[in-house]
Structure 1
Amino acid sequence: MTSLAKLNAQYVQYIIKYPLLTKSITTGIFCGLNETISSILTGEYKESKILGINIKHVISKKLVKMIIYGSLIATPISHYLYYIINNKIFIAPLTSKQKVLQILTSLSTVTPILSACFVSWISLINNYTPGKEDLSTELKRIKNVVSTGLKKGYFSVLKTSLITSLFALIVAQRFVPPELWVVFFNLVYFIMGTYQNTKLKNLQKLNRK
């Protein structure tokens, strides 16, 4: 067994034993990398003075917020939605028709919900700064930021997510061994998330000009 196969087998064991925790940690790490790469690509650098020298970096509150999003928001939502679909609605063994219905159910429910959560969160961390207004005013500001973000970026993100998810499922079924599916999909969604985050950052930069 190769080193990669051993690591994958160990990871799958953790997924089975500690599903939500393992997924949360994995997604949190990938979201952190996602934010780091997209910040570099869009030139969102910070400057810190260390030993009298100004150093550019991408470590920011946004990075922490993306890790929080991946670990504590996206992962629990997807984990429990997929659990309902795979264990309550469609119970193995499945016929070919049921497998198709299972995929369509996932694409028509989980994907739109996660896309809305992603766009809303990105909009908030890029365009909302807590003020000193009363709670009602702050909630209205949050609503406006999220509403604007969804209007401008939701359907683009949803389209990309649907196409990527469908393509990934087809590729996985034909070319990827089942024991490598978890790693494969993590990699696919990491690349997709980085692309979407970068696209949204650039779009929101244009909107602020």
Structure 2
Amino acid sequence: MSTVAAPRKINPLLAAYLANLAAHPLRTKAITSGVLQFIQEVLATHLAGVPARKVPKDAPFYAHAKIESKAPKMTLYGMLVSAPMSHILVGLTQKMFAGKTDLAAKIGQLLVSNLIVAPIQITVYLSSTAVINGARTVDDVRKTVKAGFMNALRMTWMTLPLTIVIAQRYLAPELWVPFINLVQFITGTYFNTQLKKIRMAMDAKAKKDQEEKRE
């Protein structure tokens, strides 16, 4: 008597998400990135200790929750910049190694992802978030990128290969995308928190320098 394994049942919401990801990859990635960037911005604002604005007691709830204009801006960044950029860069990388499954191809894909794709994504991310967090000159953006680039790149080099190995070894294929999104959400929140701290330190230094000049 032969037995047939029952098909794996997955959460209906996850199934719907994966179906949309397959049918409309860029749109689904854009919406996902926008939502995650919004949440990241709110969390990073609290974690970085950004001073709360004084708001009237009858102000909308989002004002008390530190949901300011930066959160919608980060949402737009996620939808219009991050998701399309990642979609294109990852797609080009996959095309370069399409049909190649040998060890050399796997190493080559990993090198391209870490040495070309990741630096581009990090530079764009740091530049965009610097502007959103208050940078007004090219020099301010450059300083922010310089301060955060290597830390972000090292974090990516440590987490990305490990994330892929864990996903492939311990998780069902349908859980890979949500798991990778979760890891990127955590690291993104950390990066944004550090950027806000850098921005506040730069503002404090600039304010101190102005006061010294006046004296």
TM-score range with shorter-chain normalisation? Answer: 0.7 to 0.9
Give 1:19's aligned residue. Answer: 25
- Mapped contact 2:144–2:198 kept (Cα < 8 A): no
- Aligned equivalents of 1:95, 1:9: Cα separation in 2: 31
- Mapped contact 2:97–2:105 kept (Cα < 8 A): yes
Which structure shows the higher strand fraction?
1
The aligned amino acid for 1:116 is T
Q: Which runs of 5+ in 2 are unaligned?
A: 1-7, 205-215
- Mapped contact 1:36–1:59 kept (Cα < 8 A): yes
Name the % identity: 31
Give 1:40's aligned residue. Answer: 46
Match of 1:96 among 80, 94, 103: 103
My pick for the range that moved more, 54-63 or 69-78, is: 54-63
Give 1:117's aligned residue. Answer: 124
TM-score between both structures, scaled by the size of structure 2: 0.83
My pick for the range that moved more, 7-16 or 181-190, is: 7-16
1:91–1:38 CA distance, 2 compared to 1 (3 A): same
TM-score between both structures, scaled by the size of structure 1: 0.85
My pick for the range that moved more, 44-53 or 11-20, is: 44-53
CA drift at 1:48: 2.8
Q: Which has the larger radius of gyration?
A: 2
RMSD of the TM alignment (CA)? 2.0
Match of 2:178 among 159, 178, 183: 183
My pick for the range that moved more, 18-27 or 115-124, is: 115-124
Report the 3-state secondary structure (helix = DSSP H, G, I; strand = E; otherwise coil) of the residue aligned with 1:94.
coil
Give 2:202's aligned residue. Answer: 207
Q: Does 1:7 align with 2:13?
A: yes
- Mapped contact 1:25–1:71 kept (Cα < 8 A): yes
Give 1:136's aligned residue. Answer: none
CA drift at 1:52: 7.8
- Aligned equivalents of 2:57, 2:203: Cα separation in 1: 31
- Mapped contact 2:135–2:141 kept (Cα < 8 A): no
Q: Which runs of 5+ in 1 are unaligned?
A: 130-140
1:27-66 equivalence runs, <5 A:
27-44=33-50, 45-51=52-58, 56-66=64-74
Q: How many residues align?
A: 195
The aligned amino acid for 1:77 is M
1:72-114: CA deviations, max 9, x gaps?
0011111011111112x11125223312221221111111111
- Mapped contact 1:28–1:71 kept (Cα < 8 A): yes
- Aligned equivalents of 2:162, 2:154: Cα separation in 1: 12
- Aligned equivalents of 1:53, 1:78: Cα separation in 2: 35
1:157-176 equivalence runs, <5 A:
157-176=152-171
